[in-house]
């Protein structure tokens, strides 16, 4: 996945790409502009939100599977970016892939595959895919079945797994709004909590990652000062649309985002990973749109408890 990188990144970032992320320079304006240009490639299809609102997808089912994903991340103490990527993969997949009507087990299998891919991409210590099926998992799958589902997800998403997320922009926007001062640990923790909180509310799906990051940065730095919010938005107009950011800020105010969703596992993300988010994106599978229906061989094995109940 790392073999093919965007050539224009090389003009924005100098140095050894194998260095630890902590040694990477702060994002430049040009780098952020490039990520904004690319971010739509890592979003759901335009009609996905409408399908959720219209009931074509079961909101309760999505909420239930997100709760399970959060439990897995809490159990293994995965980082916030891993959690965000897992949900990003899930929503992007559902926006282009038609699941079978009898899909209770397919949603569970999809969630396991998404968490497994995100963990392999983001975490240092990664459990076996079959071990992700912690206590309370409704269905149980063999390792080979999970691996095959992972391939379905990878192909469907065109192998674009290093998604651009609000975490790619948040430190840059906070620094921009805060008079070029680097965000404190407490500020970054609040921002991280808010970003994770946007996962559960489907209304945030209409916003781009950069717009969510800008709104969160404004919320944690400016608080509720109206004049300060307008001034903060004006400093970011070159990067984001004013109206969309203001709408997102208002939505954050109305929502209870600082909830327990993922809060137990949150920690401040490392220094900027935005360059890697773009540079690590491979387009080697752009011509392969992937399958559009589940392989008939993906068969779920129910847990013993389910079998007893039947």
pTM for the whole thing? 0.75
The neighbour count for residue 173, using CB atoms within 10 Å, is 28
Angle at 168 between CA 199 and CA 262, to 5 degrees: 30
Tokens 């389910």: give the residue: 306
Written as six digits, the tokens of 278 are: 């773009």
Q: How far apart are CA 273 and CA 277, in angstroms?
A: 6
Tokens 């469907």: give the residue: 156
Question: For 117-147, how does the pLDDT look when each residue is reduced to its tens digit (9 = 90+)?
Answer: 999 999 999 999 899 998 778 888 999 999 9
Question: For 247-282, how does the pLDDT look when each residue is reduced to its tens digit (9 = 90+)?
Answer: 999 999 887 655 444 444 444 444 334 333 333 333
The neighbour count for residue 68, using CB atoms within 10 Å, is 19
Please measure the distance between the N-terminal and C-terminal CA atoms of the chain and give it in whole angstroms.
43
Dihedral sign, CA of 154, 97, 245, 184? Answer: negative
Q: How far apart are CA 164 and CA 36, in angstroms?
A: 9
Question: For 177-202, how does the pLDDT look when each residue is reduced to its tens digit (9 = 90+)?
Answer: 888 778 788 899 999 999 999 998 88
């Amino acid at each position: 996945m790392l073999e093919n990188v965007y050539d224009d990144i090389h003009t924005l970032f100098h140095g050894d790409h194998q260095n630890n992320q902590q040694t990477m320079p702060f994002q430049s304006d040009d780098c952020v502009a490039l990520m904004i240009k690319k971010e739509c490639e890592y979003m759901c299809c335009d009609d996905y939100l409408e399908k959720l609102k219209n009931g074509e997808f079961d909101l309760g089912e999505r909420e239930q599977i997100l709760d399970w994903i959060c439990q897995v991340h809490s159990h293994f103490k995965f980082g916030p970016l891993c959690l965000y990527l897992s949900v990003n993969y899930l929503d992007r997949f559902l926006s282009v892939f038609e699941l079978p009507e009898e899909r209770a087990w397919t949603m569970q299998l999809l969630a396991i595959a998404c968490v497994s891919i995100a963990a392999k991409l983001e975490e240092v210590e990664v459990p076996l895919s079959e071990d992700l099926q912690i206590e309370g998992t409704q269905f149980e799958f063999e390792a080979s079945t999970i691996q095959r589902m992972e391939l379905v997800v990878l192909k469907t998403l065109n192998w674009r797994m290093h998604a651009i997320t609000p975490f790619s922009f948040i430190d840059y926007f906070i620094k921009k709004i805060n008079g070029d001062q680097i965000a404190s640990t407490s500020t970054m923790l609040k921002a991280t909590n808010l970003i994770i909180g946007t996962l559960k509310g489907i209304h945030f799906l209409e916003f781009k990652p950069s717009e969510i990051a800008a709104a969160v940065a404004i919320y944690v730095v400016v608080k509720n000062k109206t004049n300060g919010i307008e001034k903060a938005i004006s400093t970011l107009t070159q990067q984001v649309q004013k109206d969309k950011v203001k709408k997102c800020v208002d939505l954050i105010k109305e929502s209870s985002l600082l909830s327990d969703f993922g809060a137990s596992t949150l920690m401040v993300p490392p220094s900027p990973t935005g360059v890697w988010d773009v540079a690590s994106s491979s387009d080697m599978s752009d011509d392969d749109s992937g399958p559009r229906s589940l392989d008939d061989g993906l068969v779920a094995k129910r847990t013993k408890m389910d079998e007893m109940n039947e």
